[in-house]
Amino acid sequence: MENVFSYIISLGASVMMPIIFTIIGLCIGMNFGKALRSGLYVGVGFVGLGIVTALLTTNFSDPLTLISQIYHLQLNVFDMGWPAAAAVAYNTAVGALIIPICLGVNVLMLLTKTTRTVNIDLWNYWHFAFIGAVVYFVFGENLVWGYFAAIVCYMFTLVVADLTASKFQRFYEGMDGISVPQPFCQSFVPFTLCINWVLERIPGFNRLDIDAEGLKKKFGVLGEPLVLGVIVGALIGLVAQLDVKKTLFLGVTMGAVMELIPRITKLFIDGLMPISEKTKELVDKRFHGKKVYIGMSPALVIGHPTTLVCTLLLIPTYLVIAVVLPGNQFLPLASLAGLFYLFPLMLPYTKGNVVRTYLVGLVALLLGLWFVTIMAPDFTQAAATVFRETGDKAAQVPEGFEAGSMDFASSLYGFVIYAACKWGAYIGAGALLLATLGMMLWNRRLILRDEKLQAEKAL
């Protein structure tokens, strides 16, 4: 089984997901043609997302490295990006069986009414495998600790997916019955709640409401993500002291990324929504009309205008903070493409307000830089072991550097689980378990109360 899952995962998201979603489609009663088409749309979406990610990482890596050299920046945690994190996650004993184990946990939680989410976002299971793999190496390749960390993260994520589902569905059009069980996105919700609470109590600021459409109206063409992308890309070229040709090229490239992202997300929607609708029909029959959410990838909504604008504004800010932040050793390069994923669950709480969303992202990223720096030695050990045993170049750490990645290494969820296990050992593990079980029981109370209300309305 380990060899089978390892092989499937090694195919990559663009091949793995069409196969999985075609199989899921057939299992839930879709005809072969529709199931295949849905799966292929998802696969093409991942290819498109990979191309856009490559546009950022390929074209901006050298200018940003040049900036580091020009201004003598001494940051020795190398940005490996999400491919390295996923390689470490799936190429260990923890990652090999993470999908069937987590699916089993999901079924148990559905049966015990501690969640309403059916998580079919299988590719992003690498987040759970990643934190499990790092803890696995922290404890000398101990499988029990590795699976403990992964499963705790998974259970907590399913509960939060339920708790954020209603706001998510109200904010984004066409997302009825969908939740987002992706821990990286979810880890920004606590920051959003806390910072929103503070901003609401600042006179004048609590009335400041600027959304992406308002930005367009106020600044005209300069407020559009496409044009903002060109400006930000060109500014990076100027700071890197590139010639006019290369500076303009960077500007147009960044503009292209901002324009292409919304178009690519439509492919995910076209592929996932038929499966989602059919799954909801099946779930309604099996669960006798009781409310169940379909857990989907946040890639469905990363094309929102506020996401694009805030990503653009945060890229230069993120780089400046990385340089001046005391104690930080991480310079984000390959991870910049992952900034889009900060916002899917943040926007429903900030109501698309650009200023609030930007401030929340700024604080979360600032803390995330320290998280990455602290986790770097254990991430490096995990990556080096995976590279030695598998030869996967995605996990190869450059000589003289430590490994880091914004993608989940900077996540609040990932860091709390890592820190609790590493420094708290059994006490930390006990605290994590109690917190997770407490959240599950609270969620069960909410589910039972809602089912009771629905039953009363039906009478």
Domain ranges of the chain: 1-452
For CA atoms 31, 34, 37, 39, the dihedral sign is: negative
| Six token digits for residue 167 | 């706001």
Instruction: Kindly compute the dihedral angle of the four CA atoms of residues 347, 369, 60, 256, in this order, to the nearest 10 degrees.
Output: 0
Given this model, what pLDDT does residue 222 score? 65
Given this model, what pLDDT does residue 219 score? 61
Given this model, what pLDDT does residue 216 score? 63
Report whether pLDDT(81) > 70.
yes
Bin 402: left if φ > 0, else alpha if -120 < ψ < 50, else beta: beta
Report whether pLDDT(61) > 80.
no
pLDDT tier at 375, thresholds 50, 70, 90: very high
Report whether pLDDT(190) > 90.
yes
Given this model, what pLDDT does residue 288 score? 64
CB burial of residue 61 (10 Å; 0-12, 13-18, 19+): middle
Q: Tell which residue, 154, 169, 155, 176, has the closest CA to residue 279.
A: 176
Q: Tell which residue, 36, 45, 38, 54, has the closest CA to residue 14.
A: 45
Model confidence, pTM? 0.85
Greater confidence (444 vs 173) lies with 444
DSSP secondary structure, 365-376, as one string? HHHHHHHHHHHH
Determine the Cα–Cα distance for residues 144 and 135; give it in Å rounded to an integer. 10
In tens, the pLDDT along 96-130 reads: 788 889 999 999 999 999 999 999 887 788 899 99
Determine the Cα–Cα distance for residues 125 and 100; give it in Å rounded to an integer. 10
pLDDT tier at 18, thresholds 50, 70, 90: confident
Alpha carbon separation from 293 to 117, 118, 176, 289 (Å, rounded): 5, 6, 9, 12
Determine the Cα–Cα distance for residues 326 and 343; give it in Å rounded to an integer. 26
Greater confidence (281 vs 5) lies with 281
| Percent of the chain residues topping a pLDDT of 90 | 36
Report whether pLDDT(4) > 90.
no
Q: Tell which residue, 151, 156, 166, has the closest CA to residue 187.
A: 156
In tens, the pLDDT along 225-251 reads: 788 788 888 988 888 889 999 999 999
Report whether pLDDT(364) > 90.
yes
Cβ atoms within 10 Å of 370's Cβ, excluding its own: 17
Question: Helices marked H in 91-243 — which ranges?
Answer: 93-96, 98-111, 126-138, 143-171, 183-186, 189-200, 212-219, 225-239
Determine the Cα–Cα distance for residues 359 and 349; give it in Å rounded to an integer. 13
